[in-house]
Amino acid sequence: MTTSTTRFRSWYRPMRARRPDEPHRTATPLELFFDLCFVVAVAQASGSLHHDLAENHLGHAVLSYLTVFFAIWWAWMNFTWFASAYDTDDDVYRATGLVQIAGALILAAGVPRAFTEADFTTITYGYVVMRLGTIVNWLRAAAGNPDRRATAIAYAVGVFVVQLGWLLRLALPDGWRLPAFLVLALADVLVPLVAERRGKTSWHPHHIAERYQLFTLIVLGEAILSISVAIQTGVDAGNPGLWGLAAAGAVIVFALWWLYFDRPGRLPPSSLRGSLFWGYGHYLIFAAVAAVGAGLAVAVDHDLHTAHVSSQTAGYAVAVPVAVYLITLWALHLRWKRGLGLVLFPIAAVLVLAAPWLPAPVPALAGLLFVLVAVTLLMRHRQSTGVPA
């Protein structure tokens, strides 16, 4: 092999499908860098949600947050699943990855305007930049995989058509933009369903599970940041009561981490329907955890008398995303359990939604989640020792 051929292959390799049973398949430095840049977008969304909730703009807060977080989650998810099947780690692939990271930063810069003015122009531009990198990658996959060419072409065409729709949406009157968003979001999530019917991509189940775990840690980090800010605010304001709130918030976040990473981990199902349900369902996991951080910040503002919300509303700012998290985690990972395990998380979610009516909502939520973790540990211990749960 000549030196020139070796150099060529270092910057460009045929993009052939990777084996789904490849040993030691882990996240690459590019994927980790990609996740790191998404921290900015998640932080912007969480911070804007906090501001709207504290100002009692509840409807606007929820709608804006869900739409903005969709763009963040969908862009991240498409990069992740494609990389699991086709990451060549050559120079061209790295360059397209950096283009998508640049799009993520543009998207993050547009989050505040999307919340305050419902102006999704910057977010749309960043989203389209990211998706252009995706289209290039799918065309490379089509060239390198004759047996899966129909699938790759379907992805490339589908993504391209939907991106045209997102750009045309910017020219619509204000009253049409929300319906157009819903239509285009549905079209976006249907692209994999249509494309995968032409041949399944060879994503790696352990790699996908690890990537989702890493993004879960990112959104948990946003909640940890809120707790740190609560402690700092309490120190600066001379309010010792915030130390208790910060401690309760820490218990909540620790419990969310424990419940998601409780042994044994669940891999995404191999079937198309199961993998889509698992992959799409995590939208609620990610969005809920990031919203918990915003809710804890609202609770701090309420205790400092700087939020324009009642005690119950401040409590629900934490309780609602926690309940969504528990129900979604149960649906994705725990429905297969029997006995008490089948109903434990739904019961806990109901109790969580009742907690804001107690005198100290956040500590009550922390207590409920502590008990939930303790019960799951006890059930797992009994299961491992053969004692019926």
Residue found by looking up tokens 């990609």 in the block: 34
Distance (Å, rounded) from C-alpha 315 to C-alpha 324?
14
Q: Rounded to the nearest 5 degrees, what angle is found at the Cα of 232, between the Cα atoms of 230 and 237? A: 95
Q: What is the mean pLDDT of the chain?
A: 86
pLDDT at 11: 63
Q: What does the domain layout of the chain look like in residue ranges?
A: 27-196, 205-384
pLDDT at 1: 47
Rg of the chain over Cα atoms, rounded to whole angstroms, equals 22
List the structure tokens of 274.
């199961």
Torsional class of 186: left (φ above 0), alpha (ψ -120 to 50), beta (otherwise): alpha
Rounded to 10°, the helix 361-384/340-354 angle is: 170
Distance (Å, rounded) from C-alpha 286 to C-alpha 166?
23
Q: What is the DSSP letter of 199?
A: -
Residues 6+ apart with CB under 8 A from 118: 64, 174, 177
pTM: 0.89
Residues 303-335 pLDDT 10s: 888 878 888 998 999 999 999 999 999 988 876
pLDDT at 10: 56
What are the residue ranges in the chain where pLDDT is below 70?
1-13, 235, 263-265, 335-341, 384-389
